[in-house]
Structures are given as structure tokens and as C-alpha cells.
Structure 1
């Protein structure tokens, strides 16, 4: 299935698409190359253009732009962080499954982590225009995708799906927080009016 079709199906018909995904033979490496790597690049690439070329409005100094080297540094660290983060999230998904009476499976856990991030990765396109950053909230649709995928891929019983999903969401937010801290620690901020 093409990347475009998979993205469209997981966003528009997630219940049906999770059943298709559950049956597909695949590997973690294949999913990284064909799905995770291209989609995880959307936000970082958009942020380079948005922050360095377009810039953002500042009521005191006017239009402010981030130095090109700084935005590239942020983007590289964010991209690598996303690639690592989806793998760490998959490990957490896999390990938590037995606690919630589900089925522990590394590949299915990675599929769940990768495909449920689709909306969040696509929402990264709004980084092109920093004033539209608020629209990145549309990425929260990924939480719903995760919720729908849990019983299908990890076979968590319906009575445990909400608790399992909530636990995974807390872990995902912790991963994002750590990535954000690493970005600000590794790449110094540099802006130019």
C-alpha cells in the first residue's frame, strides 16, 4: 500500500485500517523506512522554513527569524528524537500490554506506535507558518487513533482499553518532553530580527 493511501485510510477509516494493519506482514525496519522516516520529517522540515525563512511576529521587535544553522540543528535533533521516540514508545506499549491483559508482540506494538503518530506528524506541516502553530493541536487526533488501535493490535480487552491508552499517552508525553529538553540543551537558541 502506498504511503498516501495508508495515511488517508488511517485518518479517514481508522477502525477498518487497524484491522488491515494487524494482518499485514512487515518488519520494524520496513516500517521505519517506508512510513516513520518520511512522516517524522514533515515537522522538522517545516520548522526550518517557518522559523528561518518566514519567521514569527513579535510585538516588541517585529518579525523575528531563527538563524538558519540553529533551525537546522533543532530540526535534526527533533527528527532523530522522533525516530528514537517512536521506538521507545513501541517498547513501552509492548511491556505494558500484559499488565492490561493484552497480547505482547513487538511488531504489533511498533505498528501501533508508528501508525497512531500519523496525525501528529502531519500536523507538523503547520510549523511552516509559525502563526498557525495552534493548528498543531489537530495532532491530538493521534490519541484517538491510538485508542482505536489498542484492542485490535495489542488485543487488550475492552474493559482495559481506556486505562491502557491513558498510560501510553502519559508515556508518549514524557517522551516528547524529554525530546524537547534535549533539543533546547543540544542546540542553543539564536534569533535575528
Structure 2
């Protein structure tokens, strides 16, 4: 699957949105990639997940882990493609953790799957959980990388689409200056 095919699926399903958005990082932007829009179509979601899985075909993976909320559906689809156990982390009292009886074994090689990579905060929180459990990061898979190359991990990062979207500090946001109503579509309370 090439970039144009990914963009076509994103356009068909309304992933790219324009307006005034408060990102999970606290920054503001005039564009937002709402990957949940594509994930509501199982066949399209699985097509994207299969492509992500193919990009990790040569990596040893025992478990796929996605952070709630953005990574839950996608990680499940990638786990299905890889035929691997798939679990998710979620916040408990503000901290990312394993709940619901999910467990990782020491030495498990883990592929972390999230919808969008911006600052790397959610993925880093999952990596902290892996470290606590003695598991190893095998790779990071995302639908979209909008980090601008600013985020690095100790394992390969592979994304279906790299996008440059301008983000502003709230004090320097032109949409705020224009008085535009802000939308906070992310799942993290900040």
C-alpha cells in the first residue's frame, strides 16, 4: 500500500478535519487527524492494519499493545493480522497501566500500536509499563506520524503516513487570537 492509497482511504472516511483543535499535547492546530473515523469501517481498518503488520513481518513479536483509547481498535486489528495476543493499557488515576487482568511476561517482545504519533507521550507511557513488567519494546506502529522526526524510541517506528501539521502554543495560536471556538477531540484529559 502506498501513500496515495492511504490518503485516499483517509479522505473517503473523513480522517482529516479542519478547524481549531486542542491536541492531547496541549498545543493547538488548525488540522486534526481523527483516525477513529476510519476505524469505524472494519474492512478499511483491517486493510490498514494488515499493511502495518506487513511492515513488521521481519520483527519478532510476542504481544501487541495499544494505549487506550486511540490504540485499542487498531492494535486489535494489527494483532489479528500478526496472529498475536493483543492487549491494551489504560489510565488509572492518571497513570497508564495494565488492567482487566492483562499481563506481560518478562522478556515478551512487544509491538506498541497507536493511531497517531505526535509527541510520543502515550507510547512512552506504554513503554514505561513494558519496563515495569520486564517486557521489551520490539517496535512502534502508527497510522500517522505527525512528529516531524522529533520523537525517537529504542526500536523501529513505522507509520503508514507522515504528515506535517503545524501546532501552536496556546499563547501564540492564531485561531485563539481570531476568537475561533476550540474543539478538544483527543482522549487524554490535560
**TM-score, with length taken from structure 1:** 0.26
* More strand as a share of residues: 2
* More helix as a share of residues: 1
Structure ranking higher on relative contact order (CA contacts 8 Å, 6+ apart)? 1
Greater C-alpha radius of gyration: 1
**TM-score, with length taken from structure 2:** 0.26
